[in-house]
Each structure stands twice: as structure tokens, then as C-alpha cells.
């Protein structure tokens, strides 16, 4: 990972940390594990899946998305007391001259992020039933944020992951979005 990619991940992470903590500094230590597992693991899963196919992949932040997210979050926090979360802050960029021709690889790479969220979300949800107190609350938050991010990213709207998965395989898309939706109902 090069220094720019680390910086881009860190800026995006800190933006999401502000939003998910509702701009409350005291909440940040409790929210940080959820944002790390939901956002960073999601993006790294895309990156690792792309590299598995032999593609060069790296995360790049989207500064316009970060500004939109912060402004929207601040405005909704002021108006309603709760920040609305806009989570399109960047993406893993994949470079290979033949990438667009391999729809299956592109679909599987897109599915890797939401699948990482589902796995982490289910593990955290299951674990949260065995502990209580602050640790149980953190695990519940990790589950909720991961499962929400999986479902959000599976919407079939460009440039979200769901659009790419649907283009590759409507069946895999339907199953994954159905699982993500169902798990969100549990949390």
C-alpha cells in the first residue's frame, strides 16, 4: 500500500467516523471499530479480490463526496439532531486493459466488499449475544454498521457495487441483496 492510498483511506475513515458518531467526540471510540470493520475491510476486500484476478487495485478518495457527506451530515445534524450518512467517499480503482471485458471478475470483485461486511456483521451479531456492557454494545454497533453498509452498497444504482453485481449475475445479486436486507431486519 502506498502512502497516498493510506492517506485516502484515513481521510475517508475519519469522515465516516465523524458521521457515524453524529459529530460527537465522546462517541468516536465506540464507533471506530464499526467504521474500521465496515469501511476499511470493505474496501480492502475489493482490493484483494481484484489482485487475486491479477489486476492492479488501489483505493482513492473522492473529495467531492467527502465534502457532500460532511455538509449533508452537518446540515441534517443541525436540523434534526442526527447526521444523515452519505457513504460514497471513494472507491477501489482497478486497472487492467481487459478488465471491462471480464464481467464475471468485475462482478465478483464488486461482491467482495458487501460479502466482507456480511461476514463481519454476522460474526459481530453472533458474538454480541455472549457479552454485555460496552463490549456488547460495540459488537452490536459493528454488526449494524456492517450490515447496513452491505445492504446500501448492493443497491443496483451506478456506481454502487450492486449495479456491478447485477450486471454480472442477477441471481447472485438477488441472493446477496436479499441476505443483506434480511440481516438488517434482525439488527
Asked if the bond preceding 159 is cis, omega within 30° of 0, the reply is yes
Q: What is the dihedral of CA 172, 174, 180, 182, to 10 degrees?
A: -140
The domain in which residue 9 lies consists of 3-96+103-186
Output the tens digit of pLDDT for each of the chain's 187 residues: 899 999 999 999 999 999 999 999 999 999 999 999 999 999 999 999 999 998 999 999 999 999 999 999 999 999 999 998 888 899 999 887 665 568 899 999 999 999 999 999 999 999 999 999 999 999 999 999 999 999 999 999 988 999 999 999 999 999 999 999 999 999 8
What are the Cα distances from residue 147, in Å, to 74, 84, 133, 153, 157?
Answer: 24, 17, 21, 10, 18
Q: Which residues are catalytic?
A: 43
- Count of domains in the chain? 1
Amino acid at each position: 500500500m502506498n502512502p497516498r492510498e493510506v492517506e485516502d483511506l484515513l481521510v475517508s475513515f475519519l469522515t465516516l467516523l465523524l458521521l457515524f458518531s453524529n459529530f460527537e467526540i465522546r462517541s468516536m471510540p465506540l464507533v471506530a471499530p464499526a467504521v474500521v470493520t465496515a469501511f476499511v475491510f470493505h474496501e480492502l476486500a475489493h482490493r484483494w479480490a481484484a489482485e487475486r484476478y491479477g489486476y492492479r487495485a488501489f483505493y482513492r478518495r473522492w473529495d467531492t463526496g467527502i465534502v457532500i457527506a460532511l455538509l449533508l451530515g452537518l446540515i441534517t445534524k443541525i436540523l434534526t439532531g442526527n447526521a444523515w450518512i452519505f457513504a460514497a467517499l471513494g472507491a477501489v480503482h482497478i486497472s487492467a486493459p481487459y478488465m471491462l471485458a471480464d464481467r464475471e471478475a468485475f462482478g465478483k470483485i464488486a461482491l467482495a466488499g458487501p460479502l466482507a461486511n456480511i461476514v463481519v456483521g454476522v460474526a459481530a451479531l453472533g458474538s454480541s449475544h455472549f457479552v454485555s456492557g460496552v463490549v456488547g454494545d460495540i459488537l452490536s454497533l459493528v454488526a449494524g454498521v456492517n450490515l447496513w453498509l452491505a445492504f446500501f452498497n448492493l443497491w443496483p444504482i451506478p456506481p454502487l457495487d450492486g449495479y456491478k453485481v447485477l450486471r454480472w449475475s442477477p441471481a447472485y445479486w438477488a441472493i446477496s441483496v436479499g441476505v443483506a436486507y434480511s440481516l438488517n431486519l434482525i439488527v
